[in-house]
A = this chain, B = another copy of it.
Amino acid sequence: MTTFRSDTAILIQQFLATRLHSESLCHPLSAEDMGMQADAFVSPPKWHLAHTTWFFETFILSPLVSGYRVFHPRFEYLFNSYYNGVGEQFDRGKRGLLSRPNVDEVLKYREHVDTAMQAALQSPELFSEEDYATVCERCVLGIHHEKQHQELLLMDIRYMFFQNPLLPAYDDSHSLDASSNESASITDIRWLEVAGGLVDIGVRASDIGEGSADFYFDNESPQHSFFLNKYEIADRLVTNGEYLQFIQENGYDNPECWLADGWSHVNSEHWQHPLYWLYEKGEWYEFTLQGKQPLDLTAPVTNISGYEAAAYAHWAKARLPTEQEWENAARLYNGDGYDGNEALSNHDVSLSSSLVEDNTVALIQASDSAWQWTSSAYQPYPGYRPEAGAIGEYNGKFMSNQWVLRGGCHLTPNAHLRFSYRNFFYPDDRWITAGIRLARDVETARNVEVAQ
């Protein structure tokens, strides 16, 4: 899962920085916030802090470090997310009932594990060469696992606060000023033509960098050939303003736009607009981590399900790209790839306020953008094989019924911004920061243009 060979000092530094960052994300939260679970698909912030710790304890300290004493014998059960190979798990939908351990105890648990991890990393002499390599490899995996949870943590907090009629702000340091964008002119979507043919898909050397960034998840591999027809892809994401037009032209009432399963959701869950949009006294707002804000019509639409993304695309006489089309176009139009090596401390959790990039053909809009639903079902790449044992449950067993998303959003850790990264969610998931990039067949494109 990693080709890791790294300097221990750098690894320790990255480990500690990641661990610290998770805790710093919780600073604006009260103890009650830390324990709250709004639905079965989200987790309490405290649980994220404990589970990421559990990962290091379960896969490194307990099996590999001689003499390690677990912090609490029941935590293996309480903070196991879904690893059947480790054992039974506490009911996912009831994580909000774990008022104990309280925040202080969870922070002590983190400290206990961090201390033991540092000691282990600093003492290769206590391990066989193979075991020490495993310790380091799994440490890198644990770091990236925790980074994924940092992003989830912020998406979960937004969702949880949205349930509260008081609409609390996670970050009230500033209000977004959408008015400054009102005059901003959004250029029409430009269609970038891609030749296709037999292309290479999947992680390659240039996707990964130095140190802990020298990492990828197993689901990004192996690299393989894939044949693509000629296609066109949009140079930017669909905006709130464009999506509003879909709503105003009755997109949510027109079954013709929708996949059958999507139409069922529209009706059973009464979807009428993106998850966080609010309509009050003739004005549209969006609930953000900064609280309720006027809807920014020039920002990319987000927090829509895959079904909504597909319905919008149908309405716009286009379609969603496949994940292969997305990756291929991204490699072609973005030169040297993401700036994934920025310092962690620079990460900005503010909501996107702008679509415009210096790089005017930025296919992947980095830190102020959105994950992009593809039309591809999440399935293994040809030749993919998960690792043996519980750690093999990380990715492989989820390869059914979910859709692939590509790109990244303003909450995504920089280290996860790369061409080959495959995110995946169920097509009815809406609490994730996901939006729409359109694609179309070349022939279709022509016909549509003629028809207009």
Q: Tell me the A residues contacting B by CB distance below 8 Å.
A: 30-36, 38, 46, 74, 77-78, 82, 84-85, 90, 94, 96-103, 160-161, 163-166, 168, 198, 224-229, 255-256, 258-263, 307, 310, 375-377, 379-380, 382-383, 385, 397-401, 427, 441, 443-444
Contact = CB atoms under 8 A, between A and B. Distances in A.
A190 to B, nearest CB: 22
The CB with the most chain B CB atoms within 10 A, among A74, A164, A225, is that of A164
A121 to B, nearest CB: 30
A165 B77 contact: yes
A36 B46 CA distance: 13
10 contacts: A32-B100, A36-B96, A229-B382, A229-B383, A260-B400, A261-B400, A262-B400, A385-B444, A401-B401, A401-B427
| Copies assembled | 4
A416 to B, nearest CB: 22
A98 B383 contact: no
**4 closest A-B pairs (Cβ-Cβ)?**
A377-B377, A31-B31, A84-B255, A32-B35
Contacts of A78: 165-166
Given A32-B32, A32-B102, A227-B227, 4 more contacts: A36-B97, A100-B161, A259-B398, A376-B379
A90 B165 contact: yes
Contacts of A399: 259
Given A166-B101, A229-B383, A377-B379, A261 B35 contact: no
Nearest to A91: B163
A227 B77 CA distance: 44
Contact of A30 (B84, B96, B100, B256): B100
A383 B168 CA distance: 47
Contact of A165 (B74, B166, B310, B401): B74
Given A38-B97, A229-B224, A427-B400, A103 B32 contact: yes
A98 to B, nearest CB: 6
A164 B375 CA distance: 40
Contacts of A377: 377, 379
A36 B38 contact: no
Contacts of A262: 400
Contacts of A397: 258-260, 263
Given A165-B90, A385-B444, A160 B99 contact: yes
Nearest to A375: B379
A1 to B, nearest CB: 18
A84 B255 CA distance: 6
